[in-house]
Amino acid sequence: MSNKLRIGFIGLGIMGSSMAGHLLAAGHPLNVFNRSKAKTDELVAKGAQWFDSIGDLAAQSDVIITMVGYPSDVEEVYFGAGNILDRAQNAYLIDMTTSSPSLAKKIADEAEKRGCHALDAPVSGGDIGARNAKLAIMVGGKQADFDAMLPIFQLMGSNVVLQGGPGAGQHAKMCNQIVIAGTIMGVSEGLGYAKSLGLNPETVMESIGGGAASGFQLVNLGAKMIVGDFAPGFYVEHFLKDLGIALEEAQKSNLELPALALAKRLYEDLVAKGCGRNGTQVLYTRYVPAN
């Protein structure tokens, strides 16, 4: 596949800006749109082209990637006024937002009717993975469409797996978020226990960070917790959105997930306290007051 595909990227937030930057650096003509235009300035300075509307961007792109905030935002860019589907022409439509599986299926159905190819491809790895092009990308859609877009995915991630048909990528991402929710609770409680009992959390980290408890959340977010760094790599409010989707999907299958339900309640409390724009590691303050 030619590396000259024109790629449109909608949603240049903490992760999207890095992901789009890798595509531009690889030589792809990059078209960009973001509700806050200033967030595209750095990419435009490097050669990306700004578009004033989603529809115009879609009409001028071979591949359209969306990385927006909520399912309602996904619904708007694909089905609202001046949407992607109305203007895209035989394009590949890749939604990398963590969104609902049913919406992913709806987009895929409508895309096929219009001669386009849709993939749902949520990611895991946060801002660090996005910056280093080391994201895990969970894809739902047709095998042929996945194969065609694999070189694009590999510019942004190091672990790219087709999970099944439309919506399967979103379901796989729910598995990811369920595991992370429980893990962050465990890291917060373990380090909170250490602090409350008078242990030095940093020396505790030296031990458990190299043992069976080790993992991405402990090593990366645990280190931030103990120094009081709650800057967002992934916003609490976005994580809470994901937990809500996962819990809703579980309930549809009459599946009881008590740790997920508890995590959702804890993060709802944090949002109520004004922590929605903090990183997910702010859960630590539930056990130990912020530094």
pLDDT in tens, 267-277: 999 999 999 99
Q: Is 106 a catalytic residue?
A: no
Neighbours of 253 (CB within 10 A): 7
Calpha distance 267→274 (Å, rounded): 11
Q: Residues 58, 64: contact at Cβ < 8 Å?
A: yes
pLDDT in tens, 78-88: 999 999 999 99
What are the domain boundaries of the chain?
7-165, 171-286
Calculate Rg over the CA atoms of the chain: 20
| pLDDT band (50, 70, 90) for residue 144 | very high
Mean pLDDT, to the nearest integer, of 42-70? Answer: 97
136 in helix, strand or coil? strand
Beta bridge partners of 63: 7, 92
Q: What is each CA distance from 253 to 235, 250, 265, in whole angstroms?
A: 28, 5, 21
Fold adopted by 171-286: N-(1-d-carboxylethyl)-l-norvaline Dehydrogenase; domain 2 (1.10.1040)
Q: Above 90 in pLDDT, residue 289?
A: no
Per annotation, catalytic residue among 105, 173, 241, 264: 173
pLDDT value at residue 3: 60
**CATH architecture group of domain 7-165:** 3-Layer(aba) Sandwich (3.40)
List, in sequence order, every beta strand (DSSP E) within the chain: 7-10, 30-33, 49-50, 63-66, 92-95, 117-120, 123-124, 135-140, 157-164
225 sits in which H/E element: helix 223-226
77: nearest Cα among 5, 135, 11: 11
Give the helix, strand, coil percentages of the chain, each rounded to 5: 55, 15, 35
Calpha distance 233→41 (Å, rounded): 21
31: nearest Cα among 40, 39, 135, 154: 40
pLDDT value at residue 290: 64
pLDDT in tens, 196-228: 999 999 999 999 999 999 999 999 999 999 999
Sign of CA dihedral 147, 16, 28, 111: positive
**Residue given tokens 């694909």 in the structure block:** 78
73 sits in which H/E element: helix 71-79
